[in-house]
Amino acid sequence: MTILLTGVSSGIGLATARLLLEAGHQVYGTVRKPADAEQLARYPAFSALIMDVTHRASIKAALQVIADAGQPLHVVVNNSGIAVSGPLETIAEPDYRRQFEVNVFGTLAVCQEALPLLHAARAAGEENVKIVNVSSVSGYVTAPFTSLYSSSKFAVEAITDGLRRELDPFGIDVVSVAPGPVKTPIWDKAKGQTKAFEGTRYEYILEKLDPYLESTARSAIPVATVARKIKEVVEAHRPRPDQLVMNKGWMVRIARQLPKRLQDKLFLKNIEANRRY
Ligand SMILES: NC(=O)c1ccc[n+]([C@@H]2O[C@H](COP(=O)([O-])OP(=O)(O)OC[C@H]3O[C@@H](n4cnc5c(N)ncnc54)[C@H](OP(=O)(O)O)[C@@H]3O)[C@@H](O)[C@H]2O)c1
Condensed to tens digits (0 to 9), the pLDDT of residues 81-139 reads 999 999 999 999 999 999 999 999 999 999 999 999 999 999 999 999 999 999 999 99
Q: At the fourth CATH level, which superfamily is domain 2-272? A: NAD(P)-binding Rossmann-like Domain (3.40.50.720)
Residue spans of the domains in the chain: they are 2-272
Q: Active-site residue among 28, 96, 140, 149?
A: 149
Alpha-helix runs per DSSP H in 70-124: 93-100, 107-123
Cα–chain center distance at 164: 17
Ligand 1 centroid to Cα of residue 277, in Å, is: 38
Alpha-helix runs per DSSP H in 38-80: 56-69
Closest by Cα among 6, 258, 244 to 136: 244
Q: Does any ligand 1 atom lie closer than 6 A to the CB of residue 29?
A: no
15 to 19, 49, 136, 186: CA distances (angstroms): 6, 17, 17, 14
> Given this model, what pLDDT does residue 112 score?
98
Higher pLDDT, 164 or 218: 164
> Given this model, what pLDDT does residue 64 score?
98
Residue 52 CA, closest ligand 1 atom number: 32
Q: Does any ligand 1 atom lie closer than 6 A to the CB of residue 185?
A: yes
**CB burial readout 200-222, b (16+ within 10 A) else e:** eebeebeeebeeebeeebeebbe
Residue 259 burial (CB count, 10 A): 8
The model's pTM = 0.96
In terms of residues, how long is the chain?
A: 277
Angle subtended by helix axes 56-69 and 107-123, to nearest 10 = 20
97 in helix, strand or coil? helix
Per-residue confidence band for 209, with pLDDT thresholds at 50, 70 and 90: confident
Partners of 150 in the beta sheet?
Answer: none
43: annotated active-site residue: no
- Across the chain, mean pLDDT equals 94
Cβ-contact 145, 270 below 8 angstroms: no
